[in-house]
Amino acid sequence: MNMLSRSLDRSKKIWIYFLMAAFVPAITTAQDEPQPAPQADTAIESPNRRAILVDVQGPIGPATMDFLVTSLEQASSRNAELVIVRLDTPGGLDLSTRGIIKAILNSPVPVATFVAPEGARAASAGTYILYASHIAAMSPATNVGAATPVSIIGGKPRGAEKAPAGDEENGAPAPAPGGAMNRKVINDAVAYVRGLANKRGRNADWAELAVREAASITADEALEIGVIDLIAKDVGDLLAQVDGRAVEVQGRERVMDTTSLKVEQLEPDWKAELLGVITSPTIAYLLLLIGVYGLILEGYHPGAIVPGVVGAICLLTALYAFQMLPVNYAGFALILLGIILMIAEAMAPSFGALGIGGIIAMVFGSIILIDTDVPGFAVSRPLIGAIALAGSLGLMAIIGVAMRARQRPVVSGREQLIGAAGTALMDFENLGSVFVHGESWNAVTASPLREGQEIVVTGIGGLTLQVRPADV
C-alpha cells in the first residue's frame, strides 16, 4: 500500500509539472503580446465620446471667467475629446481674460475657440483667448484684432511725455505713444500675446501689430497670414476639419479624432448667472445705494428691521461685486460723501449748500467709479442722471419745507401768544385782565376795552400781554 501511494503521489507531481510546463510559457507569451483591449474599450466608449460646446457672448468679465473655468473642469471630469468655445466679444477685463487663458493653457482637454456665428468678432480680449487656444477657428464674415489695452486708447494722456521717433533706417519701431506707464502696459501686452503666439505656432508679428496699432482683420485674412487655423461655417464643419489635426496638450502631441462626437452644450449654472448679474457695474451700483440708504433708514427708525436686513444684504453683495471689478476707490468715497452730505441737509437744513455739494460729489463719484473703458463695464450714464435728478428733486423738497417752516407762525413757547385771540375779563382803559389760550393774563391796552370784548395779542412783556380790540 505504501508503494502504491508513493506511485500515485509521483504520478500527480509529474502531471502538475507537465501542466505547468505547458501553460506557463503560453501565459507569459500572452502577457508580452500587445493587448487588444484598446479596441474593445473604444467600442465600448464610442457612444459616450463627446465634445463640450460653450457659448461666450458679450464682454469678458468675472462671470464669464467663472463659467469657462468651470466648463473646462467639467469637460475634464467627463473625459471630453474637445471643448468648443463659441466666441463673440467686444473685449473684456484684463484680470478675467488672463484667468481664462491660464485655464485654457493648463486644460487636459484641447480647446477650440470658434469665432461665430457670422458677423461675430473676437476683439481685444477675444484676440488673446483665440491665440491661447489649441485650435483657432473663425466663421466667414467675422473679424479679430483691436487688442490694444482700451484704457490707453485715444491718444496721449495729459502730462505724458512726447514719444521719440523710431529709428526707421535700422528697422526699430517707434516707442508706444504716451508716458512711461502707457508704454509699460503696451509692452506687457505685446510680450504676453507674442508668448501665446509662439506657443501655438501662430503669427506673432501680426499679434504685436494688433496690440500696438489696434489692427483688425477678417477671417480670410487671418487664415492667410497664419493667425487662425481654419475657417468653418458651423460646429459640424469645425469638427470635420479638426479631425486628424495634431495639437499640443500639456506638452504632449495629440492627434484629434472628432468622428462621431456627440456635441453637448453647457449652460451657465445658477452661480454663474448670479455672478453675471451682480458684477454688472450698474447692478452693483444700485445695490450699493440700496444698501446705504437701507441702513440709514434703519438708523432713523430703529426696530424697523426690514430696511436694515435688506440694506445689509445689498451692501455686502455690492462690496463682493466691487472687489471683482476695477473700482476707483476715490469714486467710491465720493459717492459715500455725497450721501452723507444729502443726509446732513435733511437733518440740518443749510438752504441747499450741503445738498448741492452732496449731489455733485455723488455724480462725479458715480462717473469715475469703474476704472476702465471696456465696453459693457461702466455705470449707466442715464441711471446716474436719473439718480442725480431724484436727489435734486428731494433737495428742492427739503428746501421748500424749510422755507415754509420759517414763514409759519410759531406754535410753541411764549411767542405763540403773539397774534392769539382772546376776550377781556373786565372793563378797563389801560391795565386789566384778559382770557387767552384758556389762561387769565394781565394785559395793557391803548384802547378802552369792555368785558367780553374780543381782543388780539400784539406783544408780550414779562407776564403782561399787549392787546388791542379785535375789530380795530
In our burial notation (b when 16+ CB lie closer than 10 A, e otherwise), range 402-437 reads eeeeeeeeeeeeeeebeeeebebbeebeeebebebe
Contacts of 436 (CB under 8 A, 6+ apart): 417, 420, 421, 422, 455, 457, 465
184 is catalytic: yes
Give the dihedral sign, CA 337/340/346/350.
negative
Q: Crossing angle, helix 329-347 and helix 381-407, to 10 degrees?
A: 20
Please state whether the peptide bond connecting residue 117 to the residue before it is cis, i.e. omega within 30 degrees of 0: yes
Q: Are 432 and 425 in contact (CB under 8 A)?
A: yes
Q: Which of 124, 216, 280, 366 is catalytic?
A: 124
E strand or H helix at 50: strand 50-57
Nearest Cα to Cα of residue 82 among 101, 104, 110, 105 = 110
Q: Please list, in sequence order, all residues whose beta carbon lies within 8 angstroms of the beta carbon of residue 96, skipping any fewer than 6 positions away.
A: 60, 61, 62, 64, 65, 125
Number of CB atoms found within 10 A of residue 174's CB: 12
Instruction: Classify residue 300 by burial, with Cβ atoms within 10 Å: 0-12, 13-18, 19+.
Output: exposed
| Residues 6, 160: Cα–Cα separation, whole Å | 107
Distance separating the N- and C-terminal Cα atoms of the chain = 160
Is 440 annotated in the active site?
no
Catalytic choice (184, 233, 262, 271): 184
Among residues 109, 118, 106, the alpha carbon closest in space to that of 54 is found at 109
Q: Which residues are catalytic?
A: 124, 184
